[in-house]
Amino acid sequence: MTQSNSDSNLKLFALNSNKPLAEKIAKHMGIELGKLAVDRFSDGEIQINIEESVRGDNVYVLQSTSAPVNDNLMELLIMVDALRRASANTINVVIPYYGYARQDRKARSREPITAKLVANMLQNSGVDRVIALDLHAAQIQGFFNIPVDHLMGAPLLAEYFINEGVADNAVVISPDHGGVTRARALAEFLKSPIAIIDKRRPKANVAQVMNIIGDVKGKTCIMIDDMIDTAGTITLGSKALMEAGAKEVYASCTHAVLSGPAIERLSSSPLKEVVVTDSIQLPEEKQIDMIHQVSVAPLMADAIVRINENRPVSPLFKQVFQSKKTQK
């Protein structure tokens, strides 16, 4: 259990998107969650009442801006405004999953850059710091003019695979060229080689051809992505890997978005297991047997305490990984 300094005036509040994660973080820190009421008027407007004093406190608010994205984002903005008007010393938002992160550039003419818009909204509402986990694009940190602490989920996923013996004779798979950096980070923890799935569509209306760059024959393949949304890429990739001679295929990601046909696709795929974190709260209907959740609560709790005590966060990743590995 991580204990924060008694004189630090640290308070942690949870909004509605992921209360179970917030409760785990508070338990790990040895504190109680702040008292808060989130209600709705009959027309759907959100009303927030902070039920304890926050004057002069360093306040941390946990909210994943996952589905329903707009409701959760609006909740967060209203909470920040309430804290600012209640004279909180600092307002720090902990966003395990940053919604709209995929809209981080203009891919076509006249498109918005919504990830930047969200950053502007948070800053303008009065946020002093953002603590995020595995942003879809690392450069989103630069959309803010306030400090952003970017935490990594890879050490936690690696720890699970090592403890389960999956890392033996494993190869880490990037499902596309854009995810190579992420795959390499996991591979370094597992001391494994990497391979890449090269997806190409020969011509319009012709199915994608998947070529595997790297040796996967007879290997345990671990696919890694920042999120699994509709699970199309992951399930097609797993089939291609099995056809290329893989012994078995695991999938892993930090953010289990799992929208649309995702659960059906995963259930009918050759994947042995899907390892995700609890950055997004999974409803009961999505908690199928093949999905295993690894909690990011200890990582986030330790990060909050370090930030509150003005200590560096960067050493935390190796420390978390090494300390847990020795507990096996």
Q: Write out pLDDT tens, residues 113-154.
A: 999 999 999 999 999 999 999 999 999 999 999 999 999 999
- What are residue 267's phi and psi, to 5 degrees? -65, -35
Cα 14 to Cα 33: distance, rounded to the nearest angstrom = 7
pLDDT grade for 316, boundaries at 50, 70 and 90 = confident
Give the Å distances, CA to CA, from 135 to 84, 274, 278.
Answer: 26, 20, 15
Place of tokens 């609890």: 278
Averaged pLDDT for residues 107-117:
95
Check residue 177 and give its pLDDT: 87
Q: How far is CA 137 from the centre of its chain?
A: 12
Q: Would you call 296 helix, strand, or coil by DSSP?
A: coil
pTM for the structure as a whole: 0.91
Check if the beta carbon of residue 59 is closer than 8 Å to that of residue 90.
Answer: yes
Q: What are the pLDDT digits (tens) for 217-237?
A: 999 999 999 999 999 999 999
Q: Are strands 129-133 and 46-50 parallel, antiparallel or unpaired?
A: unpaired
Mean per-residue pLDDT, 80-86: 98
CA angle 61, 67, 73 (to 5 degrees): 40
The C-alpha angle 281, 129, 224, rounded to 5 degrees, equals 45
pLDDT digits (tens, 9 = 90+) for 243-301: 999 999 999 999 999 999 999 999 999 999 999 999 999 999 999 999 999 999 999 99
Q: Could you tell me if 222 and 252 are in contact, meaning their C-beta atoms sit under 8 angstroms apart?
A: yes
* CA distance linking residue 235 with residue 80, whole number of Å: 39
What is the arithmetic mean of pLDDT over 4-15?
76
Query: Is the per-residue pLDDT at 2 higher than 80?
Result: no
| Residues annotated catalytic, as ranges | 199
* Closest to 253 in 3D by CA, of 137, 154, 161, 320: 154
Query: What pLDDT is stored for residue 317 in this prediction?
Result: 73
**pLDDT score at 71:** 97
> Is a pLDDT exceeding 70 seen at residue 5?
no
Task: Tell me what the pLDDT averaged over the chain comes to.
Answer: 92
pLDDT of 321 above 80: no
Residue 201 pLDDT: 61
* pLDDT on residue 205: 53
| Cα 216 to Cα 134, 223, 248, 318, distances in angstroms | 27, 12, 10, 28
Task: Tell me how far apart the alpha carbons of residues 208 and 155 are, in angstroms, rounded to a whole number.
Answer: 32
